[in-house]
Structure 1
Amino acid sequence: MLRIGRAAAGISYGIPVGAVVPLGFEAYVRVFHPAEGGEDGGEPIFWSEVAEWAGRRVHPLMQWEAISRPAPGFGAGPKPWKEDPPVGRCPDDTLAALAEHLERFTETPETTWVCVWDGFTSVGPLIRHAPRVRLPGRTYALLRAPLDVVAEGIVRGGVWTPGPNLWWPDDRAWCVATEVDFRWTFVAGSRGLIASIAGDTRLEALETRPEHRCDVGSDMINVLNDESH
């Protein structure tokens, strides 16, 4: 059974990964939504490139607001990005790459359950009239579709735009969560799936754990780096 709740004892503040994506899986990965740069603004820019420019450290709990702010003595040249990473929406190319891995690690790719946050305004009648799923702090429209339709619907600007926010196959082999306030996507699944995603050079993905914090105040490494100067 998929379960979202407390990730571990000892978490007394902040938002843990296990409050966003279900507990009980073998492994977890955080896929960072790229920023956009280049002359036309469409070139994906990884967080690691921004962190290098800003003199920041890359780690699984890093936050965009921390790594994009130059440390003392850094950031003298032009910043390498034009648009910040999208919030609450997994970029098309990132979603398409993820779908390639996800399809190999489920026996039910023909049936995927999709939750789209019902607070989005740019949705069609399919989402407006769908049944609702209520979780703490969020209400979603629930839809069902083959995995390839879920991915291609985003890539082609179809019915899922701007979701999906929470989705999983019928056999519950994995779960993907793009929280509406975050600039990244979590994937929970088998160790094989997570290793496959983390090793894909098209993606910027770092393994994480359910007890890791993921709220805006979680990047203590780069905050403490500021305070040490």
Structure 2
Amino acid sequence: MAMVFTHVVRILHPAYLDNRPVRWEEVGARTGNVVRATSTWYEVCGSARPNYVVEGVFDCPPEQGSLPSVLQQPVYERLTSVSEGLLWNGYNDPQTRRLTDSAPSIYVDTDEYRVIEKTDEAEGGSSLDVTPNYWWPSDHSWCAATGIDSFDTLIATSDARLAAEIVAIPGIEAFILHDP
């Protein structure tokens, strides 16, 4: 993405304790691990076990493969004019099926994705259970990506102001990975 866009922002998906978002920084402080722009969740929490928890710090790991609902509104407010996206075809919930039933499919490596239009369905205060894995506006001024197994979302843009706005969203944990 950095070859096309000059700025890449990495948003870390929060863990949760009693349904309250927990920053990776809080987890790292408890486990003795420093959070860096390129840290993995497993490095920060200290274990690669899928359902690992740290008592009193987090009881649910970060959401994988989708921008968490707690982050959707503040991020979508800045990523306007979302027009198209790719959604992994492996999700099997009713909301996702409604979005993808008649959508054409493409393959990226070995994974099948559905091409969907108008991905900002989170209007009116509701949020999507699963967000597209890739999404962008019609003018292609930015692109966002959340890998199927990723605990983070990447946003690439050539707009320095947009990158700075995303990193400055209150309550969000984000880093600029690429900034000329």
TM-score category by the smaller chain? 0.7 to 0.9
SS of the equivalent of 1:95 reads helix
Partner residue in 2 for 1:156:
126
How far 1:156 moved relative to its partner? 2.6
Matched residues in 1 for 2:149 and 2:14: separation? 15
Amino acid corresponding to residue 42 of structure 2 in structure 1 = E
Partner residue in 2 for 1:205:
174
How far 1:201 moved relative to its partner? 2.2
Greater gyration radius: 1
- What 5-or-longer segments of structure 2 have no aligned partner? 48-53
How far 1:137 moved relative to its partner? 3.0
SS of the equivalent of 1:84 reads coil
Partner residue in 2 for 1:117:
88
Partner residue in 2 for 1:11:
none
TM-score, with structure 2 as normaliser: 0.85
SS of the equivalent of 1:150 reads coil
2:61 matched to 1:84?
yes
2:105 matched to 1:132?
yes
2:146 to 146, 160, 178: 178
1:69 to 46, 62, 65: 46
2:2 matched to 1:29?
no
Question: Deviations for 1:115-137, whole angstroms, at most 9, x for unmatched residues?
Answer: 11011122324403201132223
How far 1:33 moved relative to its partner? 0.5
Matched residues in 1 for 2:15 and 2:3: separation? 29
Matched residues in 1 for 2:98 and 2:23: separation? 35
Partner residue in 1 for 2:50:
none
Conserved 8 A contact 2:9-2:174: yes
Quickly say closer, same or farther: Cα 1:128–1:171, change in 2 above 3 A: same
Conserved 8 A contact 2:31-2:46: yes
TM-score, with structure 1 as normaliser: 0.68
Quickly say closer, same or farther: Cα 1:52–1:26, change in 2 above 3 A: same
**Cα root mean square deviation, aligned:** 2.3
Instruction: Judging by fraction of residues, say which structure has more strand.
Output: 2
SS of the equivalent of 2:131 reads coil
2:165 to 196, 207, 220: 196
1:96 to 56, 59, 73: 73
Amino acid corresponding to residue 85 of structure 2 in structure 1 = V
Matched residues in 2 for 1:141 and 1:23: separation? 25
2:142 matched to 1:169?
no
Runs of 4+ in structure 1 displaced over 4 angstroms? none
Conserved 8 A contact 2:86-2:115: yes
Conserved 8 A contact 1:31-1:185: yes
- What 5-or-longer segments of structure 1 have no aligned partner? 1-17, 71-76, 104-108, 211-229
- 93-102 or 133-142, larger mean C-alpha shift: 133-142
